[in-house]
Amino acid sequence: MTLRIAAALASRDVDVELTVARGETLAVLGPNGAGKSTVLGMLAGLLRPDRGRATLGDDILFDLPAEWRPPHRRGVALLAQDALLFPHLSVRSNIAFGPRATGASRAEAAERADEWMRRTGTTAFADRRPGELSGGQAQRVAIARALAAEPSLLLLDEPLSALDVAIAAEVRGTLAEVLRGRTTVLVTHDALDAYLLADRVAVMHDGRIVEQGPTRQVLERPRHPFTAELSGLTLLHGVRTRDGLHTSDGMHLPGEADEGLVVGTPALAAIRPSAVRLVPADESVGGSALSSDAHPAYPPEDGARIRARITSLEPQADLVRVRTDRLNALVPPGVLAALRLRVGDPVTLHVPADAVAIYPA
């Protein structure tokens, strides 16, 4: 069933309009406080918007102020970051609760519980209580319980955020299997979840949708600076030149432009910080400072050399995001230490042409 919502809730400064096609997974991507969970609350019937309308196929979830369908009659399942299993019930009984709550007989509920335990890999601990499960096991049980109820719409609210990296990868694999062909709205702050689980992405910022479209298109060719930040890219506005992009502040970056993008027309460039190399400003980009494995030497004509000043250093997993007043770079901590670079230092950035994707503005 196709989901459509256009609604606003002033107390949370949220005003959104979204469509999710039947069988599609839409990721609503944004930071904490953007309003993502508020959207799920309105769809689940836990929050009442001030105005708006939401439909799921031919069913009206709400059409305010006249119509409001209570949560238990919406055919919607909501899965939060915490599994919220019943501690006094076994895994099998927790999963069977979903279909039982929607009117299934005891035998039918048991049959569905067995099916979803098999599909989520939870059969081996069917008789355990939640207190005997790991975080990943408990979340897989919660997924099985939600889907055993056969909802028309599945809502996932940061389902992986409470798990460590290894367990999150395991549960992400389970979700990738069970979400195929199922109408789903996935709320997340992690672009990786969107890449691996979603058909389409809607980026939310300050209670509004700022960009939406097919997942790879939105995340790899962002149109909004906030989307670029979430994707880990640097976004520049400028004008298409014969071999790249020229920005209003005087930077020229050779790059790979879309076919048919006319010289002289407004354009955007998305740059991968992981490909940007940097050295202290008084050293040559083609010299010995870039000849190590961490910083291979580039001939001067391969890309752009840009003078910049470091504005911040931010640890990011096993790398450091070096923000400058021009572009960003991602480098290993050892490189920063070897080059003795600190906030405020001038640097030279080398941006290879194949790290710059240029497309219409």
pLDDT of residue 144: 94
**Strand, coil or helix: 197:** helix
Q: Report yes or no: 81 and 60 within 8 Å, Cβ to Cβ.
A: no
- Provide mean pLDDT across the span 13-37: 96
pLDDT of residue 358: 97
How many angstroms separate the CA atoms of 349 and 271, rounded? 12
Strand partners, 204: 209
How many angstroms separate the CA atoms of 263 and 223, rounded? 19
How many angstroms separate the CA atoms of 188 and 36, rounded? 8
pLDDT of residue 108: 95
Domains defined along the chain, listed by start: 3-220 (3.40.50.300), 228-270 (no CATH), 273-282+302-354 (2.40.50.100)
Q: Report yes or no: 20 and 3 within 8 Å, Cβ to Cβ.
A: yes
Q: Percent of the chain scored above 70 by pLDDT?
A: 94
Q: Pick the residue with more confidence: 313 or 165?
A: 313
Q: Residue 258 carries which DSSP code?
A: P
Residue 76 confidence (pLDDT) above 90: yes
Strand partners, 184: 25, 154
pLDDT of residue 285: 45
Q: Report yes or no: 307 and 317 within 8 Å, Cβ to Cβ.
A: no
Question: What does the chain come to in residues?
Answer: 361
Residue 272 tokens read as 């991968």
Largest CA distance in the chain: 77
Four-CA torsion 175, 132, 80, 11, nearest 10 degrees: -170
Q: pLDDT tens digits, residue range 211-241?
A: 999 999 999 999 999 999 999 999 999 999 9
pLDDT of residue 95: 96
pLDDT of residue 291: 24
pLDDT of residue 164: 85
Q: pLDDT tens digits, residue range 296-342?
A: 334 445 789 999 999 999 998 889 999 999 999 999 998 888 888 89
pTM across the whole model: 0.88
| Residue appearing with tokens 């955020």 | 161
Q: Which amino acid is at 152?
A: S
Average pLDDT, the chain: 91
Residue 196 tokens read as 């691996």
Q: Cis peptide leading into 65, omega within 30 of 0?
A: yes
Residue 98 confidence (pLDDT) above 90: no
pLDDT of residue 300: 43
Q: Percent of the chain scored above 90 by pLDDT?
A: 81
How many angstroms separate the CA atoms of 171 and 289, rounded? 43
pLDDT of residue 314: 94
Q: Residue 162 carries which DSSP code?
A: T
How many angstroms separate the CA atoms of 102 and 111, rounded? 14
- Residue 292's pLDDT band (cuts 50, 70, 90): very low
Strands (E), 194-324: 200-205, 208-214, 234-240, 244-247, 252-254, 256-257, 266-271, 277-280, 304-316, 319-324
pLDDT of residue 286: 44
- Residue 283's pLDDT band (cuts 50, 70, 90): low
pLDDT of residue 297: 38
Q: pLDDT tens digits, residue range 167-186?
A: 889 899 999 999 999 999 99
